[in-house]
Structure 1
Amino acid sequence: MSPGGDGDSQAAALLQVLDLEERETDVFVGQTPTTRLQRIFGGQVAGQALMAAGRTVPAERGVHSLHSYFLRPGDPHEEIRYAVDRIRDGRSFTTRRVLAWQRRKGEDVAIFALTADFHAPEPAVVEHSLPMPVVPAPEELPSLAEAAARHGKEGSGAMEISRAVEQRLLEDPFEGRAKQPPDTSIRVWMRVAGRLPDDAAVHAAALTFASDLTLLGAGLARVGGWQDRYAGASLDHAVWFHAPVRADDWFLYETDSPAASGGRALCLGRVWSADGTHVATVAQEGLLRAIAR
């Protein structure tokens, strides 16, 4: 996803990432856009794996949850092969398991594992959700690009992995302000830059891609954020989809970390569409380490 460019070009670049090649039956290949990063952004692998799973599922069954593990860092210079295992095809639910493979020194190694479940819609017995926090509208807030421009290397690193996703900030993520309970959450408006097709599977994968942005940073909110002092890696990632969402419309992403110990932080996220509908919940545990000086 090249820098600059208008929104539609960024959406097209994300679509190219999500548009997998079916190399053989139930084996799909994904590419990584040119990047300066030394490893693949986790949201890309999760989004591509969900697309691979969805390509083997009837269109009328939408994903309701995914659970995944990051097994090894992904090499951005190698293609990724997604092998889909058709675990279950039931009357109401369809389950798929996906293993992502790359070549390492002439060998195939697994870098990511995902299980996703798909459900045919049915009448609801009960419906409830958490209300969206009262926050300013995205149009009233500064963009990530504006904040990043003031913070040099740290800002440019954040922009490298979020070119395709616009962000409007309720606070400057680079200023290093440590949060204290009970106000430890981070809130940001997001949307894919440009327009995506009217395909629910694409929007679910795009939301999965975006849900890995900012999430692990919630684990450092109590010490003032990354501040170029810490390094992190996602260990796992789960998403529950509660309602349809358009990832190219503004949605509010609230993240927080209820527990951290032993070098790991549990981070939770909630997603609301602009009309206040609670559309998804996210969970991730990540590894956090101080950078040696």
Structure 2
Amino acid sequence: MTAVRTTALTAATAAACAVVLATAIPSAAINSYNATPAPERTEVGALVATWDNDGDPATPDRVDWVCSGTMVDTNTFLTAAHCTTDWPANVKFYVSLDQDVQSGLDKAAAEHPGDPAAVANAVAVQGTAHSHPAYPGPASDTHDISVIELPAAKAKARWSFTPAALPKAGALAALGPQGLDDTSFLVAGYGTQEAQRGPGGHTHPGGGVRMKAPVTYNALNDAWLRLAMTAPQGNGGACYGDSGGPNFATLAGKRTLVATTITGDTPCYATNVTYRLDTPGARAFLSPFVALP
């Protein structure tokens, strides 16, 4: 695997916020090619964090959106464990289901200068993170999965959405190679665009707006689904900031959340490496938080 598709990886890199991605380690406003806005995907959201960045843990002094994710029931937001681990001790996580979370943060920052908590609360609902206890695991299965549990009443009061449908056990493997080739896949998220050349080198512009793009089957492993993002085939793809975001497949005529974006190639042109949700390990982690089919 290559670069992780997130805008905040560790306490050391958390200060590199979502709008300063040229030096970040990859995760995309969905790639610019073959992509469109996704206002109808109201179950897809952005993970927002507040944290300390000046050595004084008494109060947070940073706020930004850092990853993507999906509501899988009325109060459970599914994302990636690398989005919710290795932060300063006073980190707090929030979920926003707004179509344009970056504009919301910009507006709130102007209205609440110097108050990251007020900014976060203006655009998002605070929740409690639960990361897989075995993360980071071996490359064969890193256990890169986590959930944010929200107060159900607050989530319902803030947004109207239909939670994503999760897959049955072994749903992807049951399709077989031909069935996977014939399956329609869709990636969504808030991340940046593919690498673009400029005077200062490669940059990854955009981010903070919910987008979607078609992707196609590439390979299936015990824990991983690889999806092709190649433009000539009509695909789009994921990039920085799409970590934890959904990869949907149409199974038996139903749009199903089958995997979450984790990593891919550094310039975000070729492959989205996603964590399967139909495996015994993923289902065992999710079962305390959400009813599984």
The answer to whether TM tops 0.5 is no
Quick check: which one's helix share is greater? 1
- In terms of fraction of residues, the more strand-rich structure is 1
Larger Rg: 1
- What TM-score does the superposition give when structure 1 sets the normalisation length? 0.27
Calculate the TM-score normalised by the size of structure 2. 0.27
